[in-house]
Structure 1
Amino acid sequence: MKNLIIKRKGPGRQFRTISAFFLVLFICKSYAQSEKNLLLLDQETLELFKPQEAKKSGLFSRATTATSSVNNNKEVKEIIDRANKALQKKDHAPSDKNAIPPNGDKREYFSQAPYYWPDPQREDGKPYIHKDGKANPEISKPKKDNIYMAQFCKDIYALGLTYYHTQDEKYAEKAARLLRLWFLDEKRSMYPRFEYGQIVVGKDKGRAMVFADTYGLIDVIDVVRLIEGSESWGETDTNAVKKWFSRLLDWMLNSKIGKQGKAQLNNIGTYYDMQVIAYALFTGQNDIVRNVIDESVKKRIDKQITQEGEQVYELKRASAWGYSVRNLKGFVYIAYMADKVGIDLWNYKTSQGKSIKNAYEWMLPYALGQKKWTKNNANPTKDEKFNDLQRKAANHY
C-alpha cells in the first residue's frame, strides 16, 4: 500500500503519513464482511481475535471487565500457540495415512466404530460387538481419518484465526496448503464422501455414525472465509472448495449412508442436519437449508426433547452428560445458522411446548454446579463444548 502524504504549511513543511488510517479502514471492512459470511464464528470470538491494527485504532469496543480481558487473552494465546505448532508440522494429506480402507483406496474417508470390541463367542472375534461408552484403542492403531481430520480441523481453525488476528501471511499460507491437500489435490485429496466411516470390524461397511466424526469441517469453511483475500488464497480457491462441498452435500442427501444419517433420532441425526445446513449455506443453496429446518430439525425437537427439556435419547447413553452436551451443541449451532436465512429457532416451540430453550435451561444448572447430576456416570462439567454453546445462546436466553 502506498503512503498518502499530506503537506502542512509552515516552516520545514512537516509531512504526515495516513496510510495506517486506510489500512485500519480496510481491516474494518474485511472484519464486517467476514462476519457476514461466516457460519459458526460468532461476534464475541471475532471481537476477541480482531486484527491487531484495528485494536490499536480503538474503532472496536473494549472488553467490559478485567476478568473477561484476562480470559480472552488466555484463549487467544492458546489458539496462537496451536497455530505456531501447526506451522512446524509436516503437511498431511488424506492419502498419506497408513490405514487402508476396505476398497484399498486411501483417498476414501476411513474410520472404525469406537465402541465395538471382538466377540468372545467367535474364534476370530468378528463381527465386533457393541459396548457403549467403552472405546476400543484399536481405532487409532494405525491412525485413521477421524483422528487426522480432527487434528486438521483444529490446526486450520487456529491458523485461520491467528492470520485474522495478526495479518501475518505465513499462517494463511500454511492454511492454504492444507486446504489444497485435503480438498483440491487431484492425487492426494479426500473424496467428497464418507463411504467407510465408523465401520464395524467384520462388516466393513460405512455407517451413519460417521457424521459424529466430520462436523469439524464446518470450522474449515469459516477458515476459508477468513483467509480469502490473502496472498495465498483467493476467490477462485474458495469456489473450488465450494465445488467439493457441493458434491459432499449431494452425497449426504442422496446416498444410502446419508439417508441413514437423516433417519437417526439421536445426536447423529442432529449432527447430520447441522452439516447439511452448513454445507448448503456455504454453497448458496438456502432452499435446502429452509427445507431441512422445516422438515427435519423441527421434528427432531419434538422427538428428542421433552417439555421439561430432557434429551431422551442422550440420557440413555453410558455417558449421558457428554452426549446431552453434544446434542444440545448441535441444536444451538443449527439455531445460530438458521438466523442466516431468517428463521428463528431460538424461540421456536412445538405444539406441546418443546424447544431448544427448554433443553438449554434444563442443562444449565448442572453445568453451573447448581444442581446435582443423578443420571448415568459422568459428572457435569462446564467444559469447552458447553462454554461455546452457552456463548452463542447467551444473546437469546
Structure 2
Amino acid sequence: MENNDNAKTNWETARQLIDVEAIMREAEVYLTAPTIQITDAISLHSPGNAHDYYSNGDYWWPNPDTKDGLPYIRRDGQSNPNNFNAHRESLRRMRTRTACLTSAFRLSGERRFGEKAIELLAAFFIDEATRMNPHLRYAQAIPGVCEGRGIGIIDTLHLIDAAAAVQVLQISGEFDQGVLQNVTGWFAAYLNWMNTHPQGIEERSEPNNHGVCWFVQAAAFARLTDDARMLAWCREQFKTRLLPEQMDLSGGFPRELARTKPYAYSLFTLDNFVTLAQLLSVPGDNLWTYELPDGRGIRQGMSFLLPYIENKSEWPYGPDIEYEDDWPVGMSFMLFAGLAYGSERLLHLWRTLDKNPRQAEVRRNMAIRQPLLWLL
C-alpha cells in the first residue's frame, strides 16, 4: 500500500484524469437497477447446484467428427459464442455496478450510492437464497472432457474490483459493518479454497498469464481480509518466480507472444503485473522499482510494450486471430504506472484511449474498471 502522502497525491491527480461526470451518471442509473445473483441462471450441464458457479472454456467447440459433438475440441484464441457464460456475465455486471456505485460514493459522499452497493454485495455473496458458493470447482468446464479446471479461476479476476469496493466501504465507517464483514468472510473462504484445493494449486502453478492472475486475486483478497502472510508470500513470489519465469530480457512475455493473440495477451499480462505492483508495494519493498540482477522488472516490461501501444502498426509479432482492430484500449496499468513513474507518455495514453470499449471480449480482459478505488 502507498504511504498517506503519496496516496493523497495520486488520488487528486487521478481524479483529474477520470471522467467523474460519467461515473456519476452511470451510478444514478444503477441506483434503480435490480440485484444480480448467481442463481438467476442455471446450466443443465453443471454438476453443482444453483449456488455453484459454472462456465465453459472459451476456446472449446463441438467436435465436428462426432454425432453429439463430444468431446469438445480446442481452437486457441477463438471464443465459442454458444458456451454457457451467464454466470460470468452476472459476476461482471455485479462487479461493474458495485464498483461504480462505490466510486460515486467516494467522489460525492452521498450514502445512497454506498447503500445500493451494499445491497448488490449482499445478494451476490451473503443471502442464503441467492449467494454464490465460495469455490470454482465447475469453472471453464469442457463438455465431454471435464467438469471444471483450475484455469477457470481466472473467471473471478473481475472480483478484485469488488474487493476494492468492499474495502472502501469499510474504511468509510458509514455502512452496516456486519454485512461488510460477512462479505469479507466470503472472500477469505474463497481465498482459502484457491490456495488449498487441487484446482487452485494447479492454477497457482501456471507459468503464464493464468499464474499471474491467481496472484493478483490472492493479493487483492488478502489485502481485503488483512492476510499479511499471504501478502508477504505474493510479494516474494513476484520476485522469485513470476518475473523470472514469465518475462524475458527484452521485457516481453514469450508464452503470450507465442499465442494466437499475442498483442492482446501481452497487454493483459502486463496489466496484471502492474496490478500486482499496485497491490503489493510497501515502504521499503517497492515492486515498481524492483529489478532482477539482469534488469527484468515492471519498468522493462513497460519499455517493451509502450512503443507498440503508441504505434501498433510497428508490432512485429503478427496480428491477433480475433479482435485485432479493437486494441489497444485505456487499461488501468497506464494510469497506475503513469502515476508511479511520473510518466506523461503513459498518462497521455490513459487520457486518450477508450476506457469503456463496447466489445465484450475486450471488456472481459479489463479487470479494473474503477481505478479510483485502488488509490487508498
Q: Equivalent residue for 1:243?
A: 185
Q: Equivalent residue for 1:93?
A: 37
Q: Equivalent residue for 1:19?
A: none
Q: Equivalent residue for 2:130?
A: 188
Call closer, same or farther: CA 1:118–1:252 in 2, change over 3 Å.
same
Residue type of the alignment partner of 1:99: S
Residue type of the alignment partner of 2:32: Q
Contact 1:94–1:189 (CA under 8 A) maintained in structure 2: yes
Call closer, same or farther: CA 1:272–1:42 in 2, change over 3 Å.
farther
Equivalent of 2:25, from 52, 57, 81? Answer: 81
Q: Equivalent residue for 1:291?
A: 233
Cα distance in structure 2, aligned partners of 1:237 and 1:120: 49
Q: How far apart are 1:339 and its partner, in Å? A: 1.4
Q: How far apart are 1:97 and its partner, in Å? A: 1.5
Residue 329, structure 1, aligned to residue 266, structure 2: no
Equivalent of 1:121, from 47, 65, 82? Answer: 65
Q: Equivalent residue for 1:374?
A: 316
Q: How far apart are 1:82 and its partner, in Å? A: 2.4
Call closer, same or farther: CA 1:294–1:231 in 2, change over 3 Å.
closer
Equivalent of 1:225, from 158, 162, 167? Answer: 167
Contact 1:35–1:43 (CA under 8 A) maintained in structure 2: no
Runs of 4+ in structure 1 off by over 6 angstroms are 34-37, 229-232
Residue type of the alignment partner of 1:77: E
List per-residue Cα deviations over 1:283-310 (Å, max 9, x = no partner): 1111111112213553121111111111
Call closer, same or farther: CA 1:273–1:297 in 2, change over 3 Å.
farther
Greater C-alpha Rg: 1
Write the mapping of 1:316-395 to structure 2, written as runs, cut at 5 A.
316-340=258-282, 342-369=284-311, 372-378=314-320, 381-385=327-331, 388-395=332-339
List per-residue Cα deviations over 1:215-263 (Å, max 9, x = no partner): 1211112211333377972332222222111111110110011011111
Equivalent of 2:82, from 123, 133, 138? Answer: 138
Cα distance in structure 1, aligned partners of 2:203 and 2:195: 9
Q: Secondary structure at the match of 2:162?
A: helix
Q: How far apart are 1:111 and its partner, in Å? A: 1.1
Call closer, same or farther: CA 1:231–1:348 in 2, change over 3 Å.
closer
Residue type of the alignment partner of 1:345: L
Cα distance in structure 2, aligned partners of 1:226 and 1:288: 21
Q: Secondary structure at the match of 1:228?
A: helix
Q: How far apart are 1:101 and its partner, in Å? A: 5.6
Call closer, same or farther: CA 1:266–1:171 in 2, change over 3 Å.
same
Contact 1:176–1:232 (CA under 8 A) maintained in structure 2: no
Ranges in structure 2 where 5+ consecutive residues have no aligned partner: 342-376
Q: Equivalent residue for 1:102?
A: 46
Q: Equivalent residue for 2:197?
A: 255
Q: Secondary structure at the match of 1:247?
A: helix
Call closer, same or farther: CA 1:233–1:35 in 2, change over 3 Å.
farther
Residue type of the alignment partner of 1:79: I
Q: How far apart are 1:85 and its partner, in Å? A: 2.5
Residue 216, structure 1, aligned to residue 158, structure 2: yes
Q: Secondary structure at the match of 2:82?
A: helix
TM-score by length of 1: 0.78
Call closer, same or farther: CA 1:285–1:341 in 2, change over 3 Å.
farther
Call closer, same or farther: CA 1:36–1:157 in 2, change over 3 Å.
farther
Q: How far apart are 1:177 and its partner, in Å? A: 0.8
Call closer, same or farther: CA 1:128–1:229 in 2, change over 3 Å.
same
Equivalent of 2:218, from 267, 276, 283? Answer: 276
Q: How far apart are 1:114 and its partner, in Å? A: 1.2
Percent identity, aligned pairs only, is 25
Residue 155, structure 1, aligned to residue 97, structure 2: yes
Q: Secondary structure at the match of 1:384?
A: coil
Call closer, same or farther: CA 1:178–1:342 in 2, change over 3 Å.
farther
Q: How far apart are 1:203 and its partner, in Å? A: 2.6
TM-score by length of 2: 0.82
Residue type of the alignment partner of 1:354: R
Cα distance in structure 2, aligned partners of 1:46 and 1:194: 38
Mean Cα deviation higher: 211-220 or 246-255: 211-220
Call closer, same or farther: CA 1:47–1:184 in 2, change over 3 Å.
farther
Contact 1:242–1:282 (CA under 8 A) maintained in structure 2: yes
Contact 2:63–2:69 (CA under 8 A) maintained in structure 1: yes
Q: Secondary structure at the match of 2:133?
A: coil
Cα distance in structure 2, aligned partners of 1:308 and 1:214: 30
Cα distance in structure 2, aligned partners of 1:298 and 1:356: 14
List per-residue Cα deviations over 1:148-185 (Å, max 9, x = no partner): 11111111111111122222222122111111011111
Residue type of the alignment partner of 2:66: R
Contact 2:125–2:186 (CA under 8 A) maintained in structure 1: yes
CA RMSD, 1 decimal: 2.6
